[in-house]
Structure 1
Amino acid sequence: MTDKNTQPLATACPEQSELVKSDLSGAVAKLILNRADRLNAMTPAMDSQLRSAFLAAQAAKHCKVILITGAGKGFCSGADQTATQPAEAADTGWQQVPRHIDEFRFGYLMTATKPTIAAVNGAAIGVGLVLASLCDIRLAVSDAKLGFPYARLGLIAEYGIAHRLTNLVGHGVATELLLSGRLFDAIEAFGFGLINHVAERDRFEKFVNAYTQELSTRCSPRSMRVIKQQLLGSQTQSFMDAARQSGRELTQARQSADYAAAKNARREKRLPSFTEE
């Protein structure tokens, strides 16, 4: 289901670690949670390896887009709570109160200068759905099961998801999903805006590859970086503050090499060759 220039989401990545595989060779970096037998349930070690792999992708100059997905039939089924790893041990180091967003467990997803895409290829539950929600864009296979089951486990909405979910889907939907703790599928999630695009399983991989390739070839890395900064800043800005910032950024954008490249490409009816980071 992939053309000669793309690789399967979870089969062609070189082995980098036991719990997270990564392929940083192309413009789209692919990070794969690699515990297929546990539907990629999160452990502290996987969490740490994911951060390291993500930061490596962020630092790779040729990388323009960062894709996170899961091996096998699941994205991430939640925190691993097996008998050999009790919840208390799994929480070690994850409950520290962050002073800055970069110290927050998944803060690197929000502050990254490159677009982050969650390819939700199966179940995304609890912390797995938090991980996907903190990415910039979410693509999902239509039959993926999703949920925030905290209320049914005697827990609370963790890792800032009450704030993030409210921004994504509105207060009413966020309230219902978090208080009920119910499961829902990707098609319903698309309806209320949590999932950006849905595809059937037999064409999901092809769709994800096409979508990420389009971002990496048609969009200016500089533009995407600045737009991400604008979106993050908008959480605490007034409208006028955001408008003033956009005015300053627009002036700089019109003086950039990427803007010139886009104009030349339109005139010559070809894809642009962006050079700025």
Structure 2
Amino acid sequence: MSGHVRLLIEGAAALVTLSNPAKFNAMSRAMWCELKQVFTGLQQRTDVRAVLVAGEGGHFCAGGDIAEYTDFRFHSEGLRDFHEGDVWGGLSAMLACDLPIVAQIEGHCMGAGVEIASCCDVRVAGQGARFGAPIAKLGFPMAPREAELVVREVGLATARQMLLEAAVLDAPTMLARGFLQVVTHDADVPAEALQRVLRMTRLAPQAARMNKQALRALSSGQSAQALLATAYDYADSAEHREGIAAFLTKRPPIF
């Protein structure tokens, strides 16, 4: 078994590190299971307000751990269990997390790395980062739910280029296509990403959770009308009152 997903809590921020540095943080089956455990746990916490996801050693994630593939890829049930159980288990736990998630993307962001980054709300990348899903070179397609996720975040044209050409795209291209929010010097990526996470921890946590829930529902095809039954239940909440009172008295809010 190789690699781990580490969790460190610092104040109101959670730092999640993909750690398999000898393989540029390629995801093993164990790491997918740990990713699910980490984000399922974070969803239940009330002391954490934002999450940073990064890779160890100057790379985000180079894809899946191909050394494991011969153990399960050559029969349909084992392959289905891997993608629908392990991989989608980890990705869906990230997608279901109501905490804001920032991706710190350095170096390789391939295949599984693109999928994990697609689960994040804000993506900060270095100029030297590279993005793609060249699995056509390995003789298999992207699993349907993973492809749906990637198409939604990178766009259909970019997904076609990644999957059909095995194209590897640079960070400025991915910024221009709307996948990234920020591209900065490689050396500045950790500080830039952490700064954004810390800024999020100072904002209203209830509002962040409600925004993520609404955005998740709307992106899945629900109508705004379907959300109206509970949309204004926060009216008398302490957080709402504090935010308005702080603005009127010209002081920073204390959430």
Give the alignment's TM-score, normalised by structure 1.
0.80
Q: Is the 8 A contact 2:32 2:89 kept in 1?
A: no
Q: Note if 1:88 corresponds to 2:77.
A: no
Of structures 1 and 2, the one with the larger relative CO (CA 8 A, separation 6+) is: 2
Q: Which residue of 1 aligns with 2:139?
A: 154
Q: What is the identity percentage for the equivalent residue pairs of Structure 1 and Structure 2?
A: 25
State the one-letter code of the partner of 1:259: H
- Corresponding residue to 2:212 among 228, 247, 256: 228
Q: Which residue of 2 aligns with 1:255?
A: 236
Aligned-partner Cα distance in 1 for 2:96–2:58:
29
Q: 1:33 to 1:106 in 2, by over 3 A?
A: same
Aligned-partner Cα distance in 2 for 1:78–1:153:
12
Q: Note if 1:193 corresponds to 2:175.
A: no
- Corresponding residue to 1:267 among 231, 248, 252: 248
Aligned-partner Cα distance in 2 for 1:136–1:159:
21
Q: Which residue of 2 aligns with 1:206?
A: 191
Q: Which residue of 2 aligns with 1:14?
A: none
Q: Deviations over 1:4-51 (max 9, x none)?
A: xxxxxxxxxxxxx96222212321100111222221111112222222
Aligned-partner Cα distance in 2 for 1:165–1:222:
28
Q: Report the more deviating stretch, 197-206 or 163-172.
A: 163-172
Shift in Å, 1:148: 1.0
Aligned-partner Cα distance in 1 for 2:131–2:178:
13
Unaligned residue ranges in structure 1 (runs of 5+): 1-16
Q: Note if 1:133 corresponds to 2:118.
A: yes
Q: Report the more deviating stretch, 189-198 or 157-166.
A: 157-166
Shift in Å, 1:159: 5.6
Q: Which residue of 1 aligns with 2:49?
A: 64
Aligned-partner Cα distance in 2 for 1:164–1:140:
19
Q: Is the 8 A contact 1:24 1:57 kept in 2?
A: no
Aligned-partner Cα distance in 1 for 2:144–2:12:
30
State the one-letter code of the partner of 1:270: R
Q: Secondary structure at the match of 2:233?
A: helix
Shift in Å, 1:68: 1.1
Shift in Å, 1:109: 0.8
Q: Is the 8 A contact 2:5 2:19 kept in 1?
A: yes
State the one-letter code of the partner of 1:273: I
Instruction: Name the one with the larger helix percent.
Output: 2
State the one-letter code of the partner of 1:23: L
Unaligned residue ranges in structure 2 (runs of 5+): none
Q: Secondary structure at the match of 2:219?
A: coil
Q: Secondary structure at the match of 2:123?
A: strand
Q: Secondary structure at the match of 2:80?
A: coil
Q: 1:75 to 1:236 in 2, by over 3 A?
A: closer
Aligned-partner Cα distance in 2 for 1:86–1:172:
29
Q: Is the 8 A contact 2:18 2:25 kept in 1?
A: yes
Shift in Å, 1:144: 0.7
Shift in Å, 1:248: 4.1
Q: Is the 8 A contact 1:109 1:134 kept in 2?
A: yes
Aligned-partner Cα distance in 2 for 1:227–1:89:
39
Equivalent residue pairs, number: 250
Q: Note if 1:36 corresponds to 2:17.
A: no
Q: Which residue of 2 aligns with 1:12?
A: none
Aligned-partner Cα distance in 2 for 1:59–1:233:
19
Shift in Å, 1:191: 0.8
State the one-letter code of the partner of 1:107: S
Shift in Å, 1:103: 6.6
State the one-letter code of the partner of 2:253: P
Q: Is the 8 A contact 1:138 1:197 kept in 2?
A: yes
Give the alignment's TM-score, normalised by structure 2.
0.87
